[in-house]
Amino acid sequence: MKTLLILMSFFSSLFGGNTKQIDTITVLDKAEFKNAIAHKVQLVDVRTPNEYASGHIKNAINIDFFNQTAFVKAFEKLDKEKPVYIYCKSGNRSNKAAQKLDSLGFKNIYDLRGGYMNWN
């Protein structure tokens, strides 16, 4: 995680982005993610309903990131004090979703590196 934050900071300084270091978000590799979700957790697939229907991780609920109104409303029903595990297709959308969850007050957000494409 430290390496990722250092790289984000480096690229931010090069390209003028406003990357923010967020202590509540951790990106996990496939093995770490799989181990963590072996127990009952808040597991969320942030892809579209069609993507979700084409295959998803067992026990994941679908909350479409692109539908921001429904996204926020659905996450308001989850426990912000408990860890939430999220993924998308490749990791890009879930990264944005993680940042949104941080702004909504979630304390521990875990994102699957490489997304569902990495899962299979």
Band (pLDDT 50/70/90 cuts) for residue 120 is: confident
26: pLDDT strictly greater than 70? yes
What residues are annotated to the active site? 88
- Looking at the chain, the whole-number percentage of residues with pLDDT higher than 90 is 79
> What are the pLDDT digits (tens) for 29-60?
999 999 999 999 999 999 999 999 999 999 99
Catalogue all structural domains in the chain, each as residue range(s) with its CATH number.
Answer: 22-119 (3.40.250.10)
How many other CB atoms sit within 10 Å of the CB of residue 70? 12
Instruction: State how far the Cα of 58 lies from the Cα of 19, in Å rounded to an integer.
Output: 32
Instruction: State how far the Cα of 107 lies from the Cα of 103, in Å rounded to an integer.
Output: 10
- Evaluate whether 82 touches 109 at the Cβ level (below 8 Å): no
